[in-house]
Amino acid sequence: MALWGGRFTQGPDQRFKDFNDSLKFDYRMAVEDLEGSKAWAQAICQAGVLSAEECSRLQAALDELLAEAQDNLAAIASAGDEDIHSYVERRLIEKVGDLGKKLHTGRSRNDQVALDLKLWCRKACEVILKSISDLERELIAVAKGHSEDIFPGYTHLQRAQPVTFGHWIMAYAQMFERDYQRLSNALELIKSSCPLGSAALAGTAYKIDRDALAKSLGFAAASPNSLDAVSDRDHVMELLSCASISMVHLSRLAEDLIIYNSGEARFVELSDTVTSGSSLMPQKKNPDALELIRGKCGRVVGALSGMLVTMKALPMAYDKDLQEDKERLFDAVDTWHDCLQMAALVFTDLRLNRHEALLAAKGGYSNATELADYLVARGVPFREAHGIVGRAVLFAIEKGKALEDLSVDDFQQFNPSIGGDVYEALELHHLINKRDVKGGTAPHQVQAEIKVLEQKLAARA
Ligand code: ARG
């Protein structure tokens, strides 16, 4: 049963119906549509459209439909109705007869779908916020065990200065913490205004207390402009932006680990539980979980750019283009959620090869800055020290030696103030411990960073 048809003399072409119908994907908003319908029944009852008895019969039938939807949401997808709103209305009429035909009084599918999607976004935010926190907890658990383990730090993918493995892990924990904050902010904005009561575009003609209605649905207030409210999809664009930024973070994490796990680096070893084999090459153990995370970033960023282009130059107010908001949003949120969980799983059994990591950290003259600082402590201006050390590094490269393998005599060709105490300065633990500022790689600074984040996570548990 369609919600319209009176002014038509012909039914829809089947090919158009297949093209136009959205139930196959918007069935996912069934619970939200029913929650919104319950609140609307209450609101029009207060406006005198329904008697109290009619309202309670509608509520009871909507509750039955809610229970059915919660029990088997996916079954709704193939019911054949135009969209989730048509499905709910048909089922309601099947249950309570003509009374069901009163529910749509003063409401349009335009404000209805705007509400449903906002309610869906709210729940999606809650679910994702939890998976971000879970990932942060996992990262912290691993970082705690590695706050002293030396790891090569890179810039330009060239060995730069040693850091600790814990410090590297916490860099990602900070990115995910920002993702958490960003999404929390988006959620607050979603909750600030409720579109229901905007009707098709001009506002409902019934005396509804829209602010009370908004509050009953968990919003701070009713939307202030009906034209805007029915065509506003900022929350979809914002959620997709949050998802895209977070997926960019996840893809960087994935790429780092893929490099560190490679045969060329061997700094970490991924667990058998998140890798897969090759059908041809028996020796292979491929980092598929991480490669998929890296690859799926493109899919989510694509959803964001697609949505932005759909919204661009959209005429006021509701247009059917807006139906294109859902599939990509649902897919992007599912993908984001899966990737957050998969990233946490990768960390549950990630092994650090301390020896390989230390060897790499020692190589590449990554203690050269220390020698420059050593000279600075002996009165050499930094820029001059930089040049001196550069020449010493070149000398060491030619001799095939590390800086710490040069003799004091070798060093003194470059600057006479270099003495036997230079070797301690070049030692990696010494170097790590010297980065003892807030945010630095010194173990106790990383431990302090972990504590602060742990407290934030504990406060939200
Ligand atoms: N399926 C539609 C959507 O997702 C629902 C709103 C339809 N409104 C309308 N006037 N045709 O946007």
Find out whether the beta carbon of 109 lies less than 6 Å from any atom of ligand 1.
yes
Q: What pLDDT does 282 receive?
A: 79
Residue of 4, 113, 310, 321 to test ligand 1 pocket, by largest number of atoms within 8 Å of CB: 113
Q: Is the pLDDT of residue 461 over 80?
A: no
Q: How confident is the model at residue 5 (pLDDT cuts 50, 70, 90)?
A: confident
Closest residue by Cα to atom 7, ligand 1, is: 109
Q: How confident is the model at residue 274 (pLDDT cuts 50, 70, 90)?
A: very high
Average pLDDT over residues 437-455: 98
Alpha helices in 262-377 (DSSP H): 288-311, 325-348, 354-362, 368-377
Q: What pLDDT does 422 receive?
A: 96
Q: What pLDDT does 342 receive?
A: 98
278 part of the active site: yes
Q: Tell me the percentage of the chain whose pLDDT exceeds 90.
A: 95
Question: 443-460 vs 165-192: helix axis angle to the nearest 10?
Answer: 30
How far is the C-alpha of 82 from the C-alpha of 85, rounded, in Å?
Answer: 8
Average pLDDT over residues 392-399: 96
Find out whether the beta carbon of 28 lies less than 6 Å from any atom of ligand 1.
no
Find out whether the beta carbon of 323 lies less than 6 Å from any atom of ligand 1.
yes
Which of the residues 276, 278, 305, 430 is marked catalytic?
Answer: 278
Written as one string, the DSSP assignment of 183-244 is HHHHHHHHHHEE-TT-TTTT--SS---HHHHHHHTT-SEE-S-HHHHHH--HHHHHHHHHHH
Q: What pLDDT does 166 receive?
A: 98
- Full-model pTM: 0.95
Tens digits of residue pLDDT in 169-205: 999 999 999 999 999 999 999 999 999 999 999 999 9
Q: What pLDDT does 4 receive?
A: 83
Q: What pLDDT does 203 receive?
A: 98
Q: Residue 25: what are its φ and ψ, rounded to 5°?
A: -120, -30
Structure token digits, residue 172: 């990602």
Q: Which residues contact 155 (CB under 8 A, 6 or more apart)?
A: none
Q: How confident is the model at residue 103 (pLDDT cuts 50, 70, 90)?
A: very high
Q: Is the pLDDT of residue 1 over 80?
A: no
| Least trusted range by pLDDT, from 37-51, 279-293, 372-386 | 279-293
Residue at token pair 């045969």:
263
Q: How confident is the model at residue 7 (pLDDT cuts 50, 70, 90)?
A: confident
In one letter, which amino acid is 99? L
Q: What pLDDT does 250 receive?
A: 98
Q: Tell me the Cα Rg of the chain.
A: 30
Q: What pLDDT does 428 receive?
A: 95
CB atoms within 10 A of CB 387: 12
Q: Is the pLDDT of residue 398 over 90?
A: yes
Find out whether the beta carbon of 370 lies less than 6 Å from any atom of ligand 1.
no
Structure token digits, residue 383: 């820029």
Structure token digits, residue 11: 């039914």
Mean pLDDT, the chain, integer? 97
Find out whether the beta carbon of 113 lies less than 6 Å from any atom of ligand 1.
yes
Q: Go through the chain and tell me how many residues it has.
A: 461
Find out whether the beta carbon of 26 lies less than 6 Å from any atom of ligand 1.
yes
In one letter, which amino acid is 444? H
The span from the first CA to the last CA of the chain, in angstroms, equals 46
| 32 burial level (CB within 10 Å; 0-12, 13-18, 19+) | buried
Q: What pLDDT does 277 receive?
A: 86
Average pLDDT over residues 57-83: 98
Q: Which atom of ligand 1 is nearest to the CA of 117?
A: 4
Q: Which atom of ligand 1 is nearest to the CA of 322?
A: 12
Structure token digits, residue 140: 């912290």
How far is the C-alpha of 274 from the C-alpha of 228, rounded, in Å?
Answer: 46
